[in-house]
Amino acid sequence: MTMHDLGYRSWDADAPHQKFSWLTISRYGAKLAWKSQWLKRIIYLAFMPFFGLLASVFVYEQVSNWPQLYPALFVIVEALEESQQDPIEEIQQDPIEEIQQGPIEEIQQGPRPEQVLVEEDLPTARFDPSNIPNPEEYVQDYVDEHRSTIWRIGFYTFFRRSQGILMVLLVGMIAPGLISRDMQSRAFLLYFSRPITPFQYLLGKATTVWIFLLAVTTLPALLVYLVGVLFSPGLGVILNTWDIPLRILLATAVLTIPTTMLALCLSSLVNESRYARFAWFAIWIVGFLSASILFTADLQASGNYDIWTSRWAFLSPYHVLGIVERWAFGLMERPADVIPYLAILGVVTVVCFGTLMRRITAPIRV
Amino acid sequence: MSVNAAPTIIQLHGLTKHFGNIMALQDVSLDVPLGITGLLGPNGAGKSTLIKILLGLVRPSSGSGMVEGRDVLREGKAIRASVGFMPEDDCYIPGISGVEMVHFAACLNGYASLESLRRAHEVLDFCGTEEERYRAVDTYSTGMRQKLKFAQALVHDPSLLILDEPTSGLDPDERQIMLGRIQGLSRKAGMSVLICTHILPDVQQICDYAVVLVDGQVRRVDSIENLNRPASPSLHLRIVGDEQKYCQVLREAGIGVTTDSSGRLVVSNPDGDLAGQLWSLAHHSQVGIRSLTPARTSLDDVFIQAMQEGGPGDDNA
C-alpha cells in the first residue's frame, strides 16, 4: 500500500474545458516533441531569418537618417521590385503604349524617383543628390512610396525562402510520429473512450504541428511588422500597410494547413514513423528535383525562363506553395494564375483530411 | 433479458450489429443491474463490439440502448464523460510518465490541469503505484501497465466502470488486490462495474451478475447465485467402492446421475428424499459414501453449457 493511500475518494470537480480538451492532445504532443534535441536546434535556427528580416525592416525605416546608404537603397529597391515582376507579362506589354504613357505620367506626377539615378547599369547605379534640394525628404518620400511593396517582398521572402525550407524540416520531425505512434501503441481507445471525437483528435494533433510552425513563421512575422510600424516615421504607416498582417495570416494558412494534413496523412498510413518521415521528405525532394529538371528542359527548348510560369511547377510542393504565397502577399501580376495552384492545395488538403478521418476511425469501427 | 427488478444501469433492446456479412451481435436485449456484472464469452463472441456500442463509438445496425439513462446512439460523448473504460490493449503514449498519463486522461475529460494532477496522484495512490509513477510508461511491466490503465479509467470518478480483462498479466497477489479494489469500488463507492474477462474464477469471486455472450447472442443472464444453482435439487457425491455398479443401481431407482467437470458424481431426483435413498442404495450395493454435499454448478459448467446451446431460445435465464 502506498504511503498516501486513503482509499478511493469521489471527485466532484467540474469539467469546464470539455470543448477544448483536444488542446490537451496538442499540449502533450508539443511537450513530447520538445524533448528532441534536434528539434530544439532547428527551432533556434529558425529564428535566425527573423533577426535578418527585423534588421532589414529597421534599416529600411531608418535609411533616411543615413545618407551614405541612399544609393544602395535605390539599387536594392529596384532590384527587389524587378525580381518580383512577371517576365512574361513584361514581354507581352506593348512598348509603344509604354512610351506614350511615360510623358503623361511625368507631366501629372513630376519626375519619378528612379529618374534621379544615373541609369547606366542597374547594379552600378549611383544616386545623384546634386539636382535635389532636400535629399532626406526625397528619400523619405521614396521609402514611403515603396514601403508596402518592399515589406510584402520581405515577408514573402521570409515565408518562402527560409521558413519554407525550415517548415519542411520541422514538420518532417514532428508530424510523422504523431499518429503512427498511437497506432503502434494502440492508444486510440485511450483517446476515444473519453469525450473526444475523431475530428477533435485530429485537431489536437494538427495543432501540435501548428504550435511550432506559428512560433517560427507567423509570430516572428507579426512581431517584425509591429517593429516596422514602431520604427517608421508615424503611425500613418498602418494605413499604408494594414493589409500585411492579414496577408501574413493568409500565407500562414497556406503554409501550414495543406502541409500538416499531408504529413499527418502519411503518419496515419503506417505504424512506424520512420516510413512516414521518409515519404514526407521524398515528396519534397523528388518533387523539387523533377520540377527543376523539367523546367531546365523547357528553358532550353522554349526560352521560358520563369519557374513561376513553368507548367512543371505543379509537380513540386515547394513551388506550388511558393506561387500561392506570392499571391497571398499580392506580388502576382495576374492573380487569376494562382487558381490551379490553389486548387492543387485544396485537393491535397481535402483528400488528406478524408484519408485521415478514415484511418483514425478505422480502429474503433470494428 | 433481465436479472430481476433491480435498478439497471444498462438497457439494450434488440441490438444488432453486422460488419458486412459478419454478424457481430444478434438481437441483444439485456438489462444490466447496478453492481458488478461479468461479461463472459469466447473470443469473437461480440464482447468488444458490445463495449464499443455501450461507449457510443460504434453505431448499431438496429436496436437501441441506454447507458445511465443516456441514448447510445445520440449521447455517446456524454456517456464517455461519465463512464470509465479500461481497455485490454496496452494503450499508452510512449515517452510520458505514469502520472502524466493519468493526468492526460483527466484533462481529456475536460478537467483543469492542476486539479487533474492532484487527482492523478490520488488515484495512483489508490491503485498502488508508488515511485514508478514518475518513470516513462514504455518501461513499465505488464502488471504496472494494468494498474496504470485502471487508474486512467478511474481518474474522472465514473459512475460506471467497464474493465476489459483487468487481471490479465497480474501475479496472484496483485490479482487478489485488484479484485479487492474492484469490489471495494462497487460496495463502498457505489460504482457499477462491467468486467469483461475470460478468467471465470474472478467473476465467481467478485461479480453479482453474469452475462454469457456466444456468437453475438446473449445465452445467459442471471445472478451468480442463480447461475450456480442446479436446475433441479442435486447433490455432489463421492464414494468408496464400485462406482459403475452403484451408478447403475441409482439409475434403476430413477435417480439421475452425471459427472461434473471435476469428476464428481452429481445425483438428482426431483421427487422424494434423495439423501435417504442414496444411503439406502449404498448399503445394498456394498459401497461407502465418502462425501455428500449440495451440488453447485460451477461457472465453467454454465459457460460450457451456454457455448453448446444453439441459440437464445434454449436458455433458461
Q: What are the sequence ranges of the domains in chain A?
A: 20-364
Name the domain count of chain B: 2
- Report the residue of A9, A10, A24 to disrupt the B interface, i.e. the one with the largest count of B CBs within 10 Å: A24
Same domain, B79 and B223: yes
Pick from B228, B244, B276: which residue ends a domain? Answer: B228
Read off the CATH number of the domain in which B39 is found: 3.40.50.300
Nearest partner of A360 among A226, A135, A142, A201, judged by Cα: A201
Using the Cβ of A355 and the Cβ atoms of chain B, whether some distance falls under 8 Å is answered with no
Mean pLDDT by 10 residues, chain A (366 residues): 70 79 93 92 89 87 76 79 57 42 44 46 53 75 83 88 90 94 87 92 96 92 90 81 93 94 96 94 94 82 64 87 91 84 95 95 78
In chain A, whose CA is at the least distance from the CA of B17? A366
Preferred mutation among B108, B142, B147, B162 to probe A, highest tally of A CBs within 10 A: B108
Q: Is residue B306 part of a domain?
A: no
Mutate to test the interface with B, among A190, A196, A272 (most CBs of B within 10 A): A190
Q: Cell 510512449 sits at which residue?
A: B94
pLDDT by residue (tens digit) across B186-221? 998 889 999 998 888 898 889 999 999 998 899 888
| pLDDT at res. A249 | 95
The Cα–Cα gap between B161 and A51 comes to 55
Q: Which residue among B228, B246, B275 closes a domain?
A: B228
Nearest CB to A24: which of B104, B126, B157? B104
Same domain for B222 and B276? no
Based on the fold, state whether residues B131 and B165 are members of the same structural domain: yes
Q: Are B238 and B285 part of one and the same domain?
A: yes
Q: Are residues B238 and B206 in the same domain?
A: no
CATH number of B252's domain: 3.30.70.120
Residues B240 and B221 in one domain: no
Q: Does residue B304 form part of some domain?
A: no
Judge whether B301 lies within some domain. no
Residue B276 lies in a domain: yes
**A212 Cα to chain B: minimum distance (Å):** 19
Q: How far is A354 from chain B (nearest CA, A)?
A: 19
Task: Answer whether residue B307 is part of any domain.
Answer: no
Mean pLDDT of chain B: 87
Q: Are B90 and B165 in the same domain? A: yes
Residue B226, pLDDT above cutoff 50: yes
Would you say residue B220 lies in a domain? yes
Q: Do B134 and B106 lie in a common domain?
A: yes
User: ipTM score of the complex?
Assistant: 0.80
One domain for residues B121 and B224: yes
At B3, the pLDDT band (50, 70, 90 cuts) reads low
Compare CB distances from A186 to B55, B89, B126 and report the shortest one's residue: B89
Residue B314 domain-assigned (yes or no):
no
Q: What is the pTM of this model?
A: 0.82
Show the domain range for B100: 8-228
Could A2 and B130 be called an inter-chain contact, meaning their C-beta atoms sit closer than 8 Å? yes
Query: Do B244 and B172 belong to one domain?
Result: no
B310 is a domain residue: no
Q: Within this chain, do residues B245 and B110 fall inside the same structural domain, yes or no? A: no
Q: Which residue has the higher pLDDT, B35 or A124?
A: B35
Please answer yes or no on whether B110 and A8 come within 8 Å at the CB atom. no
Among B228, B243, B272, identify where a domain stops.
Answer: B228
A96 is written with which cell numbers? 509603344
Q: Cβ neighbours of residue A265 under 8 Å, at least 6 residues apart?
A: A351, A352, A353, A355, A356, A359
The answer on B252 and B179 residing in a single domain is: no
